[in-house]
Structure 1
Amino acid sequence: MRTLVISFFLLSLISISCESGKKDKKLNSRVGFSQELADFDCGAFCDPPSVSYQLPVDSTCGHSSQNVLNCFAWKNFLALNWKASDERGLPDTTAVAADYGMPGDYSPTVWESYLSIEDVFSARQPQTWNLKSKNGYIKYINEINKFTDINAALPKPKLRAMLGGNVDEIMQAKGAWLTDQSGNIVWYEIRMNNIESDFVRQNKLYNSDNLNAFAAKNQGVWLPMESIEIKAAWRIIPDNQLESLKNLYKISRAMVPEIKGFDKNNQPIYGKYSPKYLGLVGLHIIRKTNQSPQFTWMTFEHVNNAPTEGQVDPSVNYCFYNPKSKDKPNQSPVPGHDSLNTPVQVVRIADNAISADIQQLNKQIQAMIKKSNPKSVWQYYQLVNVQWPENPIQDTNNNKTAPLMDGGITPSNIANVTMETYIQEKQCMDCHKNASVGAQKYPTDYSFIFLKAKPGK
C-alpha cells in the first residue's frame, strides 16, 4: 500500500512539473504560487521558488553557484514546511498555498512528521502517526542542546579521541543551553526523513555493536542518497503572549519537561512534562544528493532572533537580544553555576552577516509568501546561508577513516545564532567531517546522529 501511495505521489509531481509552464490559476491556488522567473537570480536552468509542496529534485540546474544553491535552499524550506499528510513524511497535497502558514494552525509540517532521533534510536516500534487523535498532534521534546545526552552516553576522553577534540563543538556550546529574553530556555529536536530513518532501523544501527560491525564491513556508514536531517530550535511561547505571537511564528504544541537540576555529569534532571506552545526560531536542513554527496547545508532563522553586531534595528523587539543589556554577547552559561532563566545576550558576528544577495532573495521570497497568504507566518523567516561542495566527492572515493574530505565546501562563514550561538566562528564541516565510530574512526558520513547508538541488552 505504501509503495502505491509513494508511486502516486511521484507521478503527481511529474504531472505538476510538466504543467508548470501553463498559467492555470486553479493549479497555482492548489499547488503553489510563484513570481515571474526574472525576479529570482536562480540560474538560467532553474525553476524559481514557489509556495508549493514540491521538493526540488537536485541543486545544480545544469551548473552550480551560490545563487543557485540559495534558491535550492528556499525551495526545500517551502516544501518541508508544507502541511503534513496522514502518511508520515509526505505533504498534504489537498492543502492550498493560500492557507500556507496560517496563524493558529498548529498542525505539523512535513519535516515534523519525520521520525525523531529518539524514535529511531530507541530500538522500539515508533508510535503510529495519527493526526486524527482526540487531542490532535502533540510531540515530546527534551533536548536543551542539539545532543543533550552525548556526555552521559560516552566519556569525553573517548569522544575527543573519536572526534579530534571537536566534542564540545557538535553541541550547543559545551553542553549548555540558550535562554531567550523572556527567561525561557530554547528546546531542540533532530528528525530524519523516511529514507534515512528506514536505513538506520533496517540495519539496526541504533545498536552500537551492530553499528561498529556494519561500519567495519562497509568501511564506514554511508547514508543513502536523498537522506535528509533536520535540526530545529524552538522558543517557549508564554500563554499570555500566544494571541500576539501566533501571527509571527510557526507554532507547534509539545510536551516539555521541567528541569529540576543537573547531575554530576552536568546532564539535566527532568521532572514532570506539561503541554507548551513552541515557536520555531531556527532550522537546519541538510540533504544528501548526487550533486552534493557532502550534503547541502541550509540554515534558516526567524527574522527577530538577534541583530548582526553593529547593526541593531531599534524598531525590532529581538528574541535573544536586549539593547539595554551590558552583558558581553554570546557567552555560554555554565551548568550548575548559571541560572536557566537568565537571558543570554546574542548577536550575529560580523563575519557571519547575511550577504547582500541572500538578503535580496529573502525579501523576494517573503514578498511571494505574503502575496500567496498575507497572514502567513513563514514571511517572518529568512535564509542565513547555504554551504555546498564545489568539488563533490562520491562516497566510493572518499576517505575510509575520519576526517572525511570536504569536497571543497563553500562558503566558510555559516552559523545559526540559535544553534551555534557560542561557536559562530566555526563552520559546519569543521566538525562534521570528523563524525565517526569506533577506535578505527570509521566515518559516519558527516553525521553525528550515530552518537546516540547504545549497546544492546
Structure 2
Amino acid sequence: MKRKYLLRTGVRAVIGMCLCMAVPVTVWAQAAPSNAQACSSELGKPLLAVAPRPANPPDSNGGFINRIASCNMWQNFFYLNWPALAGQAGVPNMHAKFGAPGATVWQTLASPDQVFLPNGQKPAPWGRWTVDAAIPPAVAEQVRAGKLRVLRQVVKFVGDAGRLHSIDQVDGLVLYDQQTKPVYYEVMLNKTLYDYIVANGLYEAKAQAAYAAKKAIAPPVGSFELKAAWKVLSASEVTGKRFFTTRAYVISPGGEGSVQTVGLAGLHIFAGGGSDTQGNSAGLWATFAQVDNAPLSGQVQASTKYNFFDPASNAVPNLPSKVNGKQVPAPTQVTQVWEDDVDAAAVTRYAQSLITGVNQDAPWQYYKLINTQWTRGGYSATPPLPQNAPLPLKGSAGEPNTTQLLNPVLETYMQVTQVKDATQRSCMACHAYAQVADQKQKFATGFSFLFSRAQAAPVGDADSSR
C-alpha cells in the first residue's frame, strides 16, 4: 500500500538535500524498497556512495522518512570508517580504498579524556593528544605512533558522579562473549564538537553551568559523537576476517593491561543537529552491529556461529550471571529482542552491495544498521531558558520517529529491564537525561553525556577555563 509523506514548506525535508518547496508535495514511498531503490531520492540523485564524505545533518527534523535517514547514516558510516590520513586527526585518506587495513577516521578523533581534563584545564590543540602517564612507556610509544589504541572509560547517567570502567555498559553491567572475555567500550568526538566545547569553555564545570543558564548546550550541526563496542578476538576470529580489527591496550577488571586484537562488535553514531540561532534538533542517531553478534529472539540460524549466543546453553537471554546479587564472569546469552527496521535492513543490503563492489575483502560488508532515530520537531535554543534534563520526548517539541532503538551489544541488559516501558527503549530516551557536570544544576546538554565529564577549576584559578 502506498503511503503519503508531506514535506514541510521551507525546511530541509530530506537529510542532506535542501527542498525549498513553495507548497507541500506528496512523496510516494514503498514500505520495503528494493536494493536498487533503497537510496534513490525523489530528485533522482543517489543518497549513498562509498566515498569519504559525511552526509549533511538536518537543521530541521520532521519532514523526512526513515529510509532517507538510514541512507544518511550509512553515508556517515562510510565517512567515519574510511582509512585515516596518517599524522592528521579526523582526516580521511582520499587515495585509500574503503576497507583497507589501518586506523579509520573516527579512531583518530578525540576521546573524552583528552578534552575534559583534570581541574578543568583547557585541552591541547586538536590532534596533539597526550598519552595517559599510567600507560607503560613501551605501550605509550606505540600509541603516539598510531599503531596501538587505548580503550577509554565511559560514564553512565548523570546523577551518579562515579565513572564506569571501560567494560561497563550504561547500566553498570559487563557483557561477556562466549569465551568469557569482557567487551570493551570507548567514546570519541570529532573536531566540530571539540571546537564548540573549547570555544565556549564547556570543558570546565563552572563555565559550563554558566553558559547553560543563558544558552542551550547543543552539539552543533556537523558534530559526531561515537560509542564503540570491542570484542577481544580469538585466533580463528581474526583469520575469519568478519570483523574490522585493531590492536589495543586493554585493561582487565583486575587492573592488568595487555595488548590484544579486538574486533568492532557495535557502533553508535550521534550526528549533532544543534544551532544557537535557529533552534536545534535532537540530531540523528543510528546504531550498527556486526551481523554475527546474536540471533533475533526465537529465530536462531543453525548455520551461524554467533559471537554472543550459544544454541546449546540454557541460560536466560540478556541477563547477567550473578552470585549473591553480584555479577560474576560467565558467557552472556544475547539475543536481539526487536528486529531491524525494514527500511534500515533494505538500506543495509544496498550498502553491503556497494561495499563488495569496491572491495570484496572489506570487513565492513559484515555490518548492519539496526535502525535510526530522529525527532519530528525541534528543540528551541531560545527562551525559555535554561533547559533542564530530562528533555521532553513527546508532542511537537520532539516526539521521536521511534521509541525503540537498542543495540544488543551496547544495551544488552536494557532489552530486559526496559521491556515494560516503551518510552525507555532508545538512545534518545537515555540521553534525554544528559546534563551539566555541576551536580547542583539540572541544565540539559543536548542529549550528550560527554559534558558530565567536565571538572571544576580550583578556587581562584580563573585562567584554567580560558
Does residue 322 in structure 1 map to residue 310 in structure 2?
yes
Q: Structure 2 length as normaliser, TM-score?
A: 0.75
Among 134, 139, 142, the residue aligned to 2:149: 139
Report how far residue 135 of structure 1 moved.
Answer: 5.5
Corresponding residue of 2:326 = 337
Tell me if structure 2 keeps the 8 A contact 1:43–1:67: no
State the AA in 2 paired with 1:191.
Answer: M
Against the structure 1 CA distance between its residues 181 and 223, is the aligned structure 2 distance closer, same or farther, given a 3 Å change threshold? same
| Structure 2 residue aligned with 1:429 | 428
Could you give the per-residue CA deviations for residues 370-403 of structure 1, whole angstroms, max 9, x where no partner exists? 1211111000000000001122334226762223
Instruction: Tell me whether 1:448 sits opposite 2:443 in the alignment.
Output: no
Query: Unmatched 5+ residue regions in structure 1?
Result: 1-16, 18-35, 156-166, 261-269
| 1:344/1:430 CA distance change after superposition, 3 Å | same
**Percent identity of the aligned residues?**
30
Partner of 1:54: 53
Q: 1:93: how far off?
A: 1.2
From the two aligned structures, give the one with the greater helix fraction. Answer: 1
CA distance in 1, matches of 2:384, 2:413: 31
Picking from 278, 293, 303, the partner of 2:291 is 303
Specify the alignment match of 1:248 in structure 2: 242
Helix, strand or coil for the counterpart of 2:272?
A: strand
- 1:134 Cα shift? 8.6
SS at match of 2:155: coil
Give the direction of change, closer, same or farther, for the CA distance of 1:226–1:430 in structure 2 (3 Å limit): same
Residues in 2 aligned to 1:38 and 1:241: alpha-carbon distance in whole angstroms: 35
Verify the 8 A CA contact 2:155 2:170 in the aligned structure 1.
no
Contact 1:283/1:300 (<8 A) preserved: yes
* 1:141/1:189 contact within 8 Å kept: yes
Q: For residue 410 of structure 1, what is the aligned residue in structure 2?
A: 401
The answer to whether the Cα contact below 8 Å between 2:158 and 2:449 also exists between their aligned partners in 1 is: no
Whole-Å separation in 1 of the counterparts to 2:196 and 2:455: 17
Alpha-carbon shift at residue 435 of structure 1 (Å): 1.7
Is the partner of 2:231 in helix, strand or coil? strand
Q: Distance in 2 between matches of 1:343 and 1:151?
A: 30
Structure 1 SS opposite 2:282: strand
Counterpart code for 2:98: Y
- Letter of the aligned partner of 2:404 in structure 1? N
1:366 aligns with one of 352, 358, 370: 352
CA contact (8 A) 2:282 2:378 kept: yes
User: Are the counterparts in 2 of residues 208 and 454 from structure 1 also a CA contact under 8 Å?
Assistant: yes
Aligned position for 1:82: 82
Q: 1:401 aligns with which of 345, 369, 388?
A: 388
Measured in 2, the distance between the counterparts of 1:202 and 1:290 equals 15
Alpha-carbon shift at residue 419 of structure 1 (Å) = 0.8
Once residues 344 and 332 of structure 2 are traced to their aligned partners in structure 1, the CA distance between those partners, rounded to angstroms, is 27
Aligned-CA RMSD value = 3.1
Contact 1:142-1:257 at 8 Å conserved across structures? no
* One-letter code aligned to 2:171: K
d(CA) in 2 for partners of 1:88, 1:357: 33
* Cα distance change on mapping 1:334 and 1:217 into 2, 3 Å: farther
**Residue 210 of structure 1 pairs with residue 201 of structure 2:** no
Q: Deviations over 1:71-107 (max 9, x none)?
A: 1111111111101123211211121xxx3214xx2x2
Q: Is the 8 A contact 1:37 1:48 kept in 2?
A: no
Secondary structure, in 3 states, of the residue corresponding to 2:268?
strand
1:316 aligns to what SS in structure 2? coil
Question: 1:134–1:187: structure 2 CA closer, same or farther, 3 Å change rule?
Answer: closer
Distance 1:212-1:355 versus aligned 2 partners, 3 A rule? closer
Name the SS of the counterpart of 1:347 in structure 2.
coil
Give the 3-state SS of the residue equivalent to 2:320 in structure 1: coil
Q: Alpha carbons of 1:337 and 1:225: their partners in 2 closer, same or farther (altered >3 Å)?
A: same
CA displacement, residues 194-253 of structure 1 (integer Å, 9 cap, x when unaligned):
0111222343433322222222243x4233322211011000113x336413x1111111
Whether contact under 8 Å (1:180, 1:235) holds in the other structure is yes
State the one-letter code of the partner of 1:252. Answer: T
Provide TM-score, normalisation by structure 1. Answer: 0.76
Alpha-carbon distance between aligned partners in 1 of 2:107 and 2:180, rounded to the nearest angstrom: 26
Whether the 8 Å contact between 2:157 and 2:433 is mirrored in structure 1 is no
The AA in structure 1 aligned to 2:328 is S
Counterpart in the other structure of 2:220: 224
In structure 1, C-alpha distance between the alignment counterparts of 2:347 and 2:334, rounded to whole Å: 25
Aligned residues of 2:183 and 2:229 also touching (Cα < 8 A) = yes
SS at match of 2:92: coil
SS in 2 for 1:449: helix
1:259 to 253, 261, 265: 253
1:330 counterpart letter in structure 2: N
Q: Distance in 2 between matches of 1:346 and 1:224?
A: 35
Give the conservation status (yes or no) of the 8 Å contact 1:37–1:47. no
* In structure 2, C-alpha distance between the alignment counterparts of 1:42 and 1:401, rounded to whole Å: 40
Q: What is aligned with 1:346?
A: 334
Q: 1:29 is matched with which residue?
A: none
2:271 alignment partner, one of 284, 287, 290: 287
Preserved CA contact (<8 Å) 1:329 1:346:
yes
Deviation at 1:125, TM superposition (A): 2.9
- Runs of 4 or more consecutive aligned structure 1 residues displaced over 6 Å after TM superposition: 129-134, 148-152
Q: How much does 1:315 deviate?
A: 0.6
**Which structure 2 residue ranges, 5 or more long, are not aligned?**
1-16, 18-33, 131-140, 420-424, 459-466
Question: Tell me, what secondary structure is at the counterpart of 1:375?
Answer: coil
For residue 27 of structure 1, what is the aligned residue in structure 2?
none
Partner deviation per Cα, 1:397-452 (whole Å, 9 max, x = no partner): 67622232331211121111111111134122222222223434111111111221
Please say if 1:386 is aligned against 2:375.
no
Q: 1:187 to 1:296 in 2, by over 3 A?
A: same
Tell me the equivalent position of 1:33: none
Which residue of structure 2 lines up, in the alignment, with residue 101 of structure 1?
99
Q: Which residue in the other structure is 1:43 paired with?
A: 41
Give the aligned residue type for 2:341: S
